[in-house]
A and B are shown apart, each in its own frame.
Chain A
Amino acid sequence: MANSSEINYLQQPAKRTFWSIPKAYQNSARGYFLISPPFLYSLIMLAAPLALVVLLSLWTQNYLELDRTITLKNYAEAVTEPLYSLLMSRSLVISGLVTLTTVVLAYPIAYYVAMFGGKRKSMWLLLITIPFWTSYLIRIFLWKVILGYNGVINGSLLGLGLIEEPLTFILYNANAVVLTLAHAWAPFAILPIYVSLSRIDKSLLEAARDLGDNAFQRFFRVTLPLSMPGVVAACLIVFIPTVGDYVTPKLLGGTDGLMIANMIQIQFGKANNAPLGSALAVVAMFIVAAISISFVLLTRRFLKTKA
């Protein structure tokens, strides 16, 4: 991609005169000019603030005053304090479970729409996305209504006489958080998997059938490997933001469902220790980035295949 401007330049020697800029370079200049407003915006409003967060995490808060000497004290606290490690590892476990649940539940429906959707493909995709235009907060609250002590599930099960007393293991714990987030992130998993499935060349499947593979073998040796780019994208799109979620754990998680983002929020709010909050945010970001990068590296051999 990056070299094609040079190729152009080599192919058009006739247009070069000593006083004019070669056309290819003029093109890249126009490209830079056009991309600069969004690029500068992101640089000033995202990259610079993130750099400031890193700087702030190296300072310390002494009650009301900010001590601007550079120290790694916050990081030492973020790493050694058992509560923070507990919240961090719980966030990773819950996000991992959410990712697994969401992707495993999403794959068959993406497969159905891509392979058997026929003319109704866009209708199915629209049907899948409609529930997600309900307010996010209200949707999460409604899960509380569904899962609660006097909720819809317990009410129906009691009414049918299937249980004697309301189930309590379905709300205010990690299960509730996993279920609700698997719901909240469903379209973000379905769409990328759907796109990579619908890009698969059907003649490859026919070839596999002609060569004697049964349906089971065709799926595991052709379809699944070819749809891996979508699965990997789905995993990252679900995993990364859920580590930082704090609404769902707060509303549905109870005390043993709280996650690292809740602690970051407390440090910036009630605890009034922004430097420690920044350090926790930086640590969380690095761990998430490290996991995501190793995940991509591990699945790299699937991503290179071209449909």
Chain B
Amino acid sequence: MEKSSRSLLTYALVYLTFLYAPVFLLPIFAFNDSAIISLPLSGFTFDWFLMLWSTKSLHEAFYNSMMIALISASLSTTLGIFAARATSRFEFPGKRGIVGFLMLPLVLPEIIVGVALLVVMVQLDLSLSAWTVVIGHVLICTPFAIAILSSAFNSFDISLEEASLDLGVNKIGTFFRVILPMVAPGIISSFLIAFTISLDEFIIAFFLTGTDVTLPVYIWGQLRFPARLPSIMALGFLMVLLSLLLLLVAEYFRRRSTQFSAHNSASNESIF
């Protein structure tokens, strides 16, 4: 037993090296004083970061991505709250089928979602914009929101809700004064995960973006120009820092949301 756990630990560490290999290279090339992304390294520089500061098209893409991510995360979290509340407290015929349908984008190739929405826009003669990207992103973020929020809604004690109703608070009051504060950490965590997914999504955005280029679509365009690559590394490095910050905040709130459920640990596991 002891021996097998040690060899597994060795494997785990080698595997982590594989997982982290690209991430470690990012800061190396972001600060490397050479216009070519290859070894050996030549020197230390901040130029690539300064270049980012002065690229106007990048700022527009950043702004578009932020707005799209903010709106998509809000909408998908709202839809997730409806679905999680419905599935955690009510039984109705066809529930499994409906939930399965809502979870469908999780196993649908993104290119299919992108193509389907593109076809609708072209056939209805509507123009592509940041809003069409939002429509697609809400679709793919909602399953994640439902998964996170279902565990939050399932994990708090139903008797608290009943107590509130018995004490004369009406249903709407109970929802806002009892249920919502209890699931708030789950809501924040769902919002941040959806935000991060939308911020990084490329395939759907590529099909639906029109002239409002998002950050990943901008990066895709720049990858063709070797001269632009070092500054893309710098940009990637900044984005990792931002994502890490968001992830840690999300993780903090996710843990707080599962603290309520110490007595009910079976229901706070993820949908997997």
Contacts and interface: CB of A to CB of B under 8 A. Distances in A.
Q: Which of B9, B12, B95 has the most CB of A within 10 A?
A: B12
Given A42-B102, A135-B239, A236-B107, A34 B25 contact: no
B22 interface: yes
A31 B23 CA distance: 45
B199 to A, nearest CB: 9
B90 A112 contact: no
A142 B97 CA distance: 41
Given A138-B26, A138-B219, A38 B80 contact: yes
A109 interface: yes
B201 to A, nearest CB: 8
A139 interface: yes
B79 A46 contact: no
A246 B204 CA distance: 11
Query: Binding site of B, secondary structure by majority: helix, strand, loop or mixed?
Result: helix
Nearest to A149: B38
Interface residues of A, number: 95
Given A2-B93, A112-B8, A152-B39, A53 B115 contact: yes
Contact of B117 (A49, A113, A134, A278): A49
B91 A35 contact: no
A249 B16 CA distance: 24
B119 A111 contact: no
A124 to B, nearest CB: 8
B206 to A, nearest CB: 8
B133 to A, nearest CB: 12
Contact of B202 (A2, A109, A137): A137
Interface of B: 1, 4-5, 8-9, 11-12, 15-16, 18-23, 25-26, 29, 37-40, 78-80, 82-83, 85-87, 89-96, 98, 101-102, 104-113, 115-120, 122-123, 135, 138-139, 142, 146, 196, 200, 202-203, 207, 215-216, 219-220, 223, 229, 232-233, 235-236, 239-240, 243-244, 246-247, 251, 255, 269-270, 272
Given A46-B116, A281-B111, 8 more contacts: A39-B98, A46-B105, A46-B139, A56-B123, A112-B12, A135-B239, A155-B39, A281-B112
